[in-house]
Amino acid sequence: MNVIKTPIEGLLILEPRVFNDDRGYFFESYNARTFEAATGTVYNFIQDNQARSTKNVLRGLHYQNAPTAQTKLIRALEGTIWDVVVDLRSGSATFGQWFGVELSAENKRQFLIPRGFAHGYSVLSETAEVFYKCDNFYDKGAEGGVNYADPALAIDWKIDLKEAIVSEKDIAQPLLKDANYHF
């Protein structure tokens, strides 16, 4: 597994070793021992989530507050997404900064997002199926969000926001300066 560090501490892009032949391909999408050796970290992933969306869907920016904050390991099973996070960790040198990475069925990259980040993505292909592992269970009472169009963040979602398909819940999320987060 190739591990790519990002400009934000703790965020990692993981590229699996893919074995191609006449039949197609094979790769290990997750192996706890390989993951620990490559990242130096042990996570106990306990929940898997999957979502299917169409072009221009924008989901996010979501997080869960402590004590049920979640580390996520994201990948695209089908299509292409632009995956984005915002650092919400108190005291972090990169607090309030965002980072994005293209995840696709073709590149097979995975994005490791530690606790303390708001997460979202936009769909760049006609459809996309996204799969992610979490190290904590979903807790409605701990959920929070930041508005995807916060001008202070100026996130490039790689889609025209006038054509974005966004839930009412995500449209109503507060700006970062008004969001309720504690990590």
Q: Where are the domains of the chain?
A: 2-178
Architecture of domain 2-178: Sandwich (2.60)
Q: Does the pLDDT at position 130 exceed 90?
A: yes
Q: Would you say 172 and 98 are in contact if contact means Cβ atoms under 8 Å apart?
A: no
Please confirm, yes or no, whether 62 is among the known catalytic residues. Answer: yes
How much of the chain exceeds pLDDT 90, in percent? Answer: 89
> For the purposes of burial, counting CB atoms within 10 Å of the CB of 152, is it exposed (0-12), middle (13-18) or buried (19 or more)?
exposed
Out of 43, 121, 132, 181, which one is annotated catalytic? 132
Q: Does the pLDDT at position 67 exceed 90?
A: yes
Out of 43, 62, 119, 148, which one is annotated catalytic? 62
Q: Quick one: which of 14, 146, 120, 9 has its CA closest to 73?
A: 14
Q: What is the pLDDT of residues 7-42, one digit of tens each?
A: 999 999 999 999 999 999 999 889 898 888 888 888
